[in-house]
Structure 1
Amino acid sequence: MLKRLAAAALLAATVVPVSVVHAQRPSPPPGPLVSGFLCCNMRTYGDSISDINYDEQGTRIVAVGTPARITAYDFRWFSLDLAGKPQRIKNDYSRNIPLPAFAQRYVVTEDPKQKMAAFPPAVRDAILAGKVMPGMTREQVLMAIAYPVASENPSLDAPVWRYWRDSWSEFQVQFDEKGLVKAVVGDPVALSRVLAAAPAQQP
């Protein structure tokens, strides 16, 4: 009998207490799941977009004003639904901007197409073509070719915005003191892709 009691005591001493595991609530997203519109013309590789917005072979434009809804955040990406198609926009070159603020650059609550309706026809046509022309405002340039990356353009009030058509072809948009485009400079290939033809003069 004593042996049985000793064995039972030994067994009780070696049993590891079972801790109660409580289900954890999922962490909230680091930013709001906003519904709105794409701020500007962005080039997609199929299901992903980079903030550098290269005009490379194999990319296609997702047009300014496309209905957009942010669905998730993940490190340097945010996922979104663009007119029913999943996309991810990656913060490659603007990492000094927190991801929620970065996302809200690209998904805006006011439809840009409503603003565009009041623009001069030549400006509106240039934006729809993804091109820039002298006389455009900063907002119109953004709609046409998106934001210049923050790593090279820390202030959007600067008189020059630096862009890249691809990894070796830079072009610059220069503004006058009124904030209107006075010139677009770069190599001939880049300019042929980004610079809109001047509107025909009326006789």
Structure 2
Amino acid sequence: MKMTGVWSLVCVFILCLVLMPTHKSALAGNSDIEAGKTYYLKCNLHADPNNNKLSSVNYQLAGKVLKWGTPIKIKKISGKKVKFEASGENFTYEIHKRTRKITTVRDHLARFLTTDPNKLKTRVGSLSSVDKKGIEDARAMVGMSKQGVLIAIGYPPEFVVSDPMAASSWQYWRNRWGKFIVAFGTHGKVKDIIGNY
């Protein structure tokens, strides 16, 4: 009887070990993003013009935009911050605590960094005129595609929209206090922008 109880505990322990990684699989990290290398932005990023800081929340701050295709050299990657250089300036990209709970820093960076700028140029070149206008202005606009919005203003935070391509609305923060939602219609085009935008 005692052996059966011990055996049951062993089985439960093994089952826990097998199932536990499924929740944390994103934390294992499979990105090749490294300090010391140069990458290119897949999307526009809005930096705080007062201190050159950016955040994984992807605040849509006015004043300073790092345009898609901009080469950036990563200087240092830590658990909470990434230091990089772009256009002759130094920037700090802060990883929000809610972002750190669901992904690694490198996997998060891989969402908006590439080593192949030509592929990105081809993608942008194939988009509609309204997409190109939004990308140029670094703004979401009615009529844009999801791909166009991603390049124009970047990804919504992972902790709010885990699968943007499957979601019908994306929530962003204008700043720490104001939010807005980009709502898509049945054909995957922006039908409305709601909130502080």
Scaled by the length of structure 1, the TM-score of the pair is 0.68
Structure 2, unaligned runs of 5 or more: 1-31
SS at match of 1:150: coil
Give the match for residue 22 of structure 2: none
Give the match for residue 32 of structure 1: 34
Q: Is the 8 A contact 2:130 2:144 kept in 1?
A: no
CA distance in structure 2 between the partners assigned to 1:63 and 1:171 by the alignment: 21
**What fraction of aligned residue pairs are identical, expressed as a percent?**
24
Q: Is the 8 A contact 1:173 1:183 kept in 2?
A: yes
CA distance in structure 2 between the partners assigned to 1:122 and 1:177 by the alignment: 18
Q: Is the 8 A contact 1:127 1:140 kept in 2?
A: yes
The root-mean-square deviation of aligned C-alpha atoms, in Å, is 2.2
1:119-134 alignment runs, 5 A limit = 119-134=127-142
Q: Residues 26-45 of structure 1: CA distance to partner in whole angstroms, max 9, x if unpaired?
A: xxxx9534432112111222
CA distance in structure 2 between the partners assigned to 1:155 and 1:120 by the alignment: 23
- In the TM superposition, residue 148 of structure 1 has moved relative to its aligned partner by 0.6
Q: Could you list the runs of 4 or more consecutive aligned residues of structure 1 that deviate by over 3 angstroms after TM superposition?
A: none
Please tell me whether Structure 1 or Structure 2 has the larger radius of gyration of its CA atoms.
Answer: 1
Give the match for residue 100 of structure 1: 106
1:41-52 alignment runs, 5 A limit = 41-45=44-48, 46-52=51-57
Match among 147, 151, 156 for residue 143 of structure 1: 151
Between Structure 1 and Structure 2, how many residues are aligned?
158
Q: Which has the higher helix share?
A: 2
Give the match for residue 176 of structure 1: 185
CA distance in structure 1 between the partners assigned to 2:186 and 2:116 by the alignment: 27
- In the TM superposition, residue 141 of structure 1 has moved relative to its aligned partner by 0.7
Q: Is the 8 A contact 1:56 1:166 kept in 2?
A: yes
- In the TM superposition, residue 144 of structure 1 has moved relative to its aligned partner by 0.8
Scaled by the length of structure 2, the TM-score of the pair is 0.70
CA distance in structure 2 between the partners assigned to 1:167 and 1:180 by the alignment: 27
Q: Is the 8 A contact 1:133 1:181 kept in 2?
A: yes
Aligned CA distance change for structure 1 residues 61 and 141 (closer, same or farther; 3 Å): same
Match among 81, 85, 90 for residue 86 of structure 1: 90
Letter in 1 for 2:58: N
CA distance in structure 2 between the partners assigned to 1:55 and 1:99 by the alignment: 20
Q: Residues 43-91 of structure 1: CA distance to partner in whole angstroms, max 9, x if unpaired?
A: 222332112233446x411111111232321111122222333222111
Q: Is the 8 A contact 2:33 2:110 kept in 1?
A: no
Letter in 1 for 2:114: V
Q: Is the 8 A contact 1:138 1:179 kept in 2?
A: yes
Q: Is the 8 A contact 1:77 1:90 kept in 2?
A: yes
CA distance in structure 2 between the partners assigned to 1:35 and 1:171 by the alignment: 32
**Given the alignment of the two structures, is residue 72 of structure 1 paired with residue 81 of structure 2, yes or no?**
no
